[in-house]
A and B are shown apart, each in its own frame.
Chain A
Amino acid sequence: MIPAIVVFVYLAVVIYIGVFAFRKGKETGEDYFLASRGLGQWVFLLTLFGSNMTAFAILGSSGLSYRAGIGVYGLMASSSGFVIPLTIFFIGTRLWAVGKQYGHMTQVQYFRDRWECSHIGTVIFAVTAAMLVPYIIIGVMGGGHTLETISGGKVPYWLGGAIVALVVMSYVFFGGMRGTAWVNTFQTLLFLVFGTVAFYLIARKLGGFDSVVEQLASNPKTAPLLTRERISPYEFFSYTFIPLSAIMFPHIAITCFTAKKVTHFKKTVIFYPICIMLIWVPSVFLGVVAASQFPGLKPGESDDVILRLLAANTDIWLAGILGAGIMACVMASDTQILALGTMFTEDVFAYYGHKERFGEKAQVWTGRIFVVGITLVAYLIALELKDKAGIFELAIRFAFSGFAALAPIMLAALFWKRSTKWGALAAVLWVALTVLGTWWLYNYSAGVAPRPGQLPAQIFPAFGDLFLRTPTNVTIFGFLPVMPMCLGSALWMWLVSLLTKPPSQATIEKYFPRNG
């Protein structure tokens, strides 16, 4: 129970930070949703990084390494360390500038102004919101499961989920973006510091990692985990498209609007890959180490291997502090809830005229009420579908591809004068249809799914290797669907833009000034 008490203390600290931020805040939309565009450079870096490090990233990565091996780092982490800083450098800085110049607070606001569109913006809002909701639900579910595990079952799932939902809701409700940013900074530092300590202590308790590695290598069942044998080279290559999703996630894009100065992006893009390395190398390696300590776990069970390693190999107090660190990652749904609130109030409430009618204060309160509503709905769904977390995990995986495939739309808006709203609509519809299509294909092919280590199976033998089923994915000619989705989205954007009327000259000159 001691680790659970440590976690409760941590949760109290987090609420205090939210309330403290509330006392520092002003009752304006820009302050509540964007912290008055005034985040300092280190808070900005740690918030941007922390909001991307979800439970899915930490617990999911170690769970996947347990099954697929060390290649998970190259697959997900180092590719992110290469692609995400580049997208922040080229897209994030430009987003920041248009936000500063024209007051935009969401991606959709920018698209509406850039392409002189109304309902197409609403379609983009609907598609991005639909792809974001599963993250929030899985965050609440993760909170429930983690508290249940840390307390040894004394805090049941329903209560753990309720506590996490309430804590997240409280500091987002009161603190808005400022509270969320400070909490994220605190959480990221906590995880970085105590994660390193845990890595060292687990190694010491196990008698050094060298002996564990030799043990893994001598067993034919676990030896492939030390290499990339369980990952196909095509999958490895096409996975580099996935990190394009980061900048299209509303919570990441909105965070880009919050930096006080554009120069704050400099340290962010340089240190981002280092932060990824510091968190992911231990997570992936410990996932593989767990294969020697707890063999035979099923996919659902392997997601908490880090918690199991902590409980078995560290001091009870440290296990509690690290449990709090893991809770920090689980609670990364805070920025997603706030982003959804920002999108709703800006892209729907304010856009359809309610801001003028009721004033800015009402807009902030609408955002707060939305935060309460969405958290409550997420909790109820998490409660109802407790044993069906796999559905949402799957949804997240497809949503990653979906957000990545939206990147060409943002690139076209920022860098291609000739791009049009119809091109954007065609690309968004392509993304929505392909996300649904790959989900259907995944479910349809469940019966022929091979086991880990086995060769991929043909889904439609008449089409040969066009559609293959691997243990965890469907592929197109061996490549992950994200690759054709991104290329298709770019193609639709280009083709339909060329066939339709561009925005007015005034709008083009506004966003592409001759001297700019």
Chain B
Amino acid sequence: MKTRAILLCLLALAVYVLHQDFWNWKDYKPLIFGFLPVGLAYHAGYSILAAIMMALFVKFAWPKHLEDVAARAEGGVPDAKKDAEPHSPRAATRDDPK
């Protein structure tokens, strides 16, 4: 768990450092797709990288406990438990092997 947290912190740090692309400062070539200056294309790609980073955060660092907290607040069953149960009596009947 701790290793995972450290790896995700390092990932965020690496993505942050990649934002400071000083190597693209004064050049506009190569033109990506024939018209997009490299500095703009790089940062458009960076936005996709940020989305991928967030997907990894969602996959490996999702605050699962908040789902249960909210369910308890509503006086219901935590979502994690609910997912393991049949969703409706009808579904239970249909899926029941007996």
Contact partners of B66 in chain A: CB under 8 A: 93-94, 96-97, 262
Tell me if A77 and B47 are in contact (CB < 8 A): yes
Q: A74-B19, A74-B21, A270-B55 are in contact. Are A97 and B39 (CB under 8 A)?
A: no
Contact partners of A97 in chain B: CB under 8 A: 66, 69-70
A273 to B47 alpha-carbon distance, docked (Å): 5
Closest to A237 in B: B20
Tell me if B16 and A269 are in contact (CB < 8 A): no
Binds B, one of A113-121, A141-149, A207-215: A207-215
A100 to B48 alpha-carbon distance, docked (Å): 32
Partner pick for B54 among A209, A272, A281, A516, CB 8 A cutoff = A272
Binds B, one of A79-87, A183-191, A373-381, A438-446: A79-87
A262 to B62 alpha-carbon distance, docked (Å): 10
Tell me if A101 and B63 are in contact (CB < 8 A): no
Tell me if B70 and A100 are in contact (CB < 8 A): yes
A398 to B49 alpha-carbon distance, docked (Å): 30
Contact partners of A217 in chain B: CB under 8 A: 28
Tell me if A227 and B37 are in contact (CB < 8 A): yes
Tell me if A210 and B34 are in contact (CB < 8 A): yes
Contact partners of A272 in chain B: CB under 8 A: 51, 54
Tell me if A70 and B40 are in contact (CB < 8 A): yes
A237 to B22 alpha-carbon distance, docked (Å): 10
Binds B, one of A130-138, A228-236, A293-301: A228-236
Closest to A71 in B: B39
Closest to B51 in A: A273
Task: Mark out the residues of chain B between 62 and 98 whose CB falls within 8 Å of any chain A CB in the assembled complex.
Answer: 62-63, 65-67, 69-70, 72-74, 79
Task: Mark out the residues of chain A between 244 and 286 whose CB falls within 8 Å of any chain B CB in the assembled complex.
Answer: 261-263, 266, 269-274, 276-277, 281, 284-285
Tell me if A100 and B73 are in contact (CB < 8 A): yes
Partner pick for B25 among A81, A228, A261, A284, CB 8 A cutoff = A228
Contact partners of A273 in chain B: CB under 8 A: 47-48, 50-51, 54
Tell me if A277 and B44 are in contact (CB < 8 A): yes
Kindly provide the distance from the CB of A235 to the nearest chain B CB, expressed in whole angstroms. 12
User: Per-residue CB proximity of B1-37 to A under 8 Å, as 1/0?
Assistant: 0000000000010011001111011111001001111
Tell me if A82 and B15 are in contact (CB < 8 A): yes
A370 to B55 alpha-carbon distance, docked (Å): 40
Tell me if A270 and B51 are in contact (CB < 8 A): yes
Tell me if B48 and A285 are in contact (CB < 8 A): no
Tell me if A86 and B47 are in contact (CB < 8 A): no
Q: A70-B40, A82-B16 are in contact. Are A229 and B50 (CB under 8 A)?
A: no
Partner pick for B69 among A82, A101, A285, CB 8 A cutoff = A101
Tell me if B73 and A78 are in contact (CB < 8 A): no
Tell me if B40 and A233 are in contact (CB < 8 A): no
Contact partners of B36 in chain A: CB under 8 A: 209, 285
A227 to B31 alpha-carbon distance, docked (Å): 12
Chain A's interface: helix, strand, loop or mixed, by majority?
A: helix
Tell me if B47 and A208 are in contact (CB < 8 A): no
Tell me if B39 and A269 are in contact (CB < 8 A): no
Q: A263-B67, A516-B65 are in contact. Are A77 and B43 (CB under 8 A)?
A: yes
Tell me if A82 and B19 are in contact (CB < 8 A): yes
Contact partners of B37 in chain A: CB under 8 A: 70, 213, 226-227
User: Taking each of A79, A210, A228, A269, which has the highest tally of chain B beta carbons within 10 Å of its own beta carbon?
Assistant: A228
Tell me if A240 and B54 are in contact (CB < 8 A): no
Closest to A269 in B: B54
Kindly provide the distance from the CB of B96 to the nearest chain A CB, expressed in whole angstroms. 28
A82 to B31 alpha-carbon distance, docked (Å): 24
Kindly provide the distance from the CB of B86 to the nearest chain A CB, expressed in whole angstroms. 19
Tell me if B58 and A270 are in contact (CB < 8 A): yes
Tell me if A93 and B63 are in contact (CB < 8 A): yes
A77 to B54 alpha-carbon distance, docked (Å): 16
Q: A210-B31, A516-B69 are in contact. Are A269 and B58 (CB under 8 A)?
A: yes
Given A227-B26, A274-B47, 14 extra CB contacts under 8 A? A70-B28, A71-B39, A74-B19, A82-B19, A97-B69, A203-B35, A208-B35, A210-B35, A226-B28, A262-B63, A262-B70, A276-B47, A277-B44, A516-B65
A residues with a Cβ closer than 8 A to B are 70-71, 73-74, 77-79, 81-82, 85-86, 89, 93-94, 96-97, 100-101, 203, 208-210, 212-213, 217, 223, 226-229, 233, 236-237, 240, 261-263, 266, 269-274, 276-277, 281, 284-285, 516
- A–B complex contacts, Cβ < 8 Å, 13 sampled: A70-B28, A70-B39, A78-B19, A93-B66, A100-B74, A226-B39, A227-B24, A233-B20, A237-B20, A270-B55, A272-B51, A274-B48, A276-B47
